[in-house]
Chain A
Amino acid sequence: MKPVIALTKGRLEKQFIQFLQERDYDVQPLLDKGRKLQVETDNFFAIFAKGIDVATYVEYGIADLGIVGEDILLEVQPDVFDLLPLPFGKCRFAIAGEPSNLTPLRKQRIATKYPNITTKYFRDQGKSVDIVKLEGSVELAPLLGLADDIVDIVETGNTLKENGLVVKEEMLTISARCIANRNSLKLKKAILTPLIDLFRVEEAII
């Protein structure tokens, strides 16, 4: 029986495949997948899904392991084991907005794709804010007056710069992580451990 791994489609998928390649894994089936959403390799079955769905497939035990961004884990808090950080997908959460010093007199309004992370962050600071949930191009919101500031993932800062926005406060840094189904990890320990050990590269800190 091979383990089932749910992979986040897109950038994380490419970085994960490269990560395996560097460890001499045969990744050809993953590269040749075309439009298929399920692929079998010598070591595991891979399924490809959107990040948030990776968490769901792992929570329900369809996949044993998942490779997913920490932003998803913080936002939806799936009931899974959150085993370890991976050395890619690194970026940071920040509050950004137009570079003005004016503090609005009304309650601050924040546009974001991550309402839960944003609410918790401001609550921990003792602040109440209103949140406008957007699905993308969050940078537009302060420019068009939909919100005062935004909370978003910043990788290089180029998008912010080109739209005349600046980082006002760094919140936290995140990376891709390996998650596991709570029951699978216990019952399929023998077949999952080799893979998990392969992912464990930052063990040096422990």
Chain B
Amino acid sequence: MFLPAGSKDEMGKALSNRFHVMEQFREITMMRGYKPISTPVIEYASTFTNEFIDMKLQDMMKWFNGEGEIEVLRPDWTTAIARALSSQEKIPQKWAYQGSIFKRNMPGVEYHQIGVEIIHHPELMGESECLLMAQAFLKEIGVGTCVIELGHTEIYESLVAELQLSKVEAERLRQAMHDKKKDEVYQIAAASSDKEKATELASLVDAFGSIEIIAEYEERWKDRENLLGILQHIKKLSEILLQSGSGEILVDLGRVKNLPYYSGLMFRGFLQSSGAICFSGGRYDRLYERFGESISAVGVALDVEVLAAQVKETDSLEKVCIIANEESIAFAENVRKSFQNCIVDVQSDSVNIDVYDQVYEIKKLNGKFEVIER
């Protein structure tokens, strides 16, 4: 029997590493005051394809239900949780989730995610909590600190708002910015404004690097109050992170949003060792606007597969083998209780005993069972 491309069975160490990541996450978020939340794996497509969310139907696992409506396998946690929370009370809330998301355009289709959503919290508090929780969690599972990159949707948005662009042109420009295609950014911008504006926008392509580059942009944007405010916000957040023992902090001031509901700070974490992205998230107040609410919302999602691959062998328990036979099963079960904090494996005598730290055999002597060390 065969498996579709990308689908995989999991067993042994790989699977226990993944469970370890998920168990530790549950523990850490619980201890930081998060409540667990889960949403169904099947939803209506329109929850994700409406104009506020604008995810592509073509990338979802989908079918028609009996009434002719399109249903999908959950393609995104944040949107599903916003739907679930839209009717909740407006008090500060911290939610933690774990489960699969499904994307047809990625090999294997199913991805394990863990993450948190924080709503009705003051901006800086919510954002720093996301990042501090992520850092504390990475430390706990032995991955160590990662490189954090900070960006902000409104830098690009406010510069581009000064251009008169059609919807098609605006999307082309956003894509060119996303691809850091400086020549095209310049050309599109120059076609609908002057050279100075186009140059300013094109130079945003190169506005990434260590946190120190912010000083250069404070000077460059000294007459733009809103941009200075954003830089100030990023600086404050990075100070909080550094004071809490975070590693290297990068910025990309030219980052653009990939989904329309992002509205403000965006961040992600790169693993020191492989450079892989282990978490990403940001602010998405606008997601809740579709429910007629103007609220503060921020979240972070962590990639379980990337993290599980980094988990080192944890201090393993001592392994004890008790060799029994059909007659002595019940006796062996009682003997098991005398070993605390050990892995106790009751086996028949055909087992390979080399993998155990201690081996005992149950023998019947004079009509009584006795435990004999081998």
Are A206 and B179 in contact, CB atoms less than 8 angstroms apart?
A: no
Q: How far is the CB of A25 from chain B (nearest CB, A)?
A: 23
* Interface check A202, CB cutoff 8 A: yes
* Interface check A186, CB cutoff 8 A: yes
Q: How far is the CB of B7 from chain A (nearest CB, A)?
A: 20
* B220-254 contact mask (Cβ, 8 Å, vs A): 1 or 0: 00000000000000000000000000000010100
- Give the docked Cα–Cα distance between A80 and B178 (Å): 9
Are A187 and B147 in contact, CB atoms less than 8 angstroms apart?
A: yes
Are A81 and B252 in contact, CB atoms less than 8 angstroms apart?
A: no
Known pairs A61-B275, A186-B208, A189-B209; A82 contacts B181 (CB<8 A) = yes
Are B181 and A83 in contact, CB atoms less than 8 angstroms apart?
A: yes
List B residues 181-222 near A (Cβ within 8 Å): 181-183, 186, 199, 202-203, 208-209
Are A184 and B275 in contact, CB atoms less than 8 angstroms apart?
A: yes
Which residue of A has the minimal Cβ distance to B209?
A: A189
List A residues 165-195 near B (Cβ within 8 Å): 180, 183-187, 189
**Which residues of chain B are within 8 angstroms of A85 by Cβ–Cβ distance?**
183
A-B contact count (CB 8 A): 42
Which residue of A has the minimal Cβ distance to B184?
A: A82
Are B270 and A183 in contact, CB atoms less than 8 angstroms apart?
A: yes
How many residues in A have their beta carbons less than 8 Å from beta carbons of B?
A: 17
- Give the docked Cα–Cα distance between A27 and B98 (Å): 52
**Which residues of chain A are within 8 angstroms of B202 by Cβ–Cβ distance?**
206
Are A187 and B208 in contact, CB atoms less than 8 angstroms apart?
A: no
**Interchain CB contact (< 8 A) of B179 among A61, A82, A189:** A82
| Residues of chain B having any CB pair with chain A under 8 Å | 147, 149, 179-183, 186, 199, 202-203, 208-209, 250, 252, 270, 275-277
Beyond the given A83-B182, A185-B180, please list 18 additional residue pairs across the A-B interface where CB-CB is below 8 A.
A61-B275, A80-B179, A81-B180, A82-B179, A83-B180, A83-B181, A185-B208, A186-B149, A186-B208, A186-B250, A187-B147, A187-B250, A189-B208, A189-B209, A202-B183, A206-B182, A206-B183, A206-B203
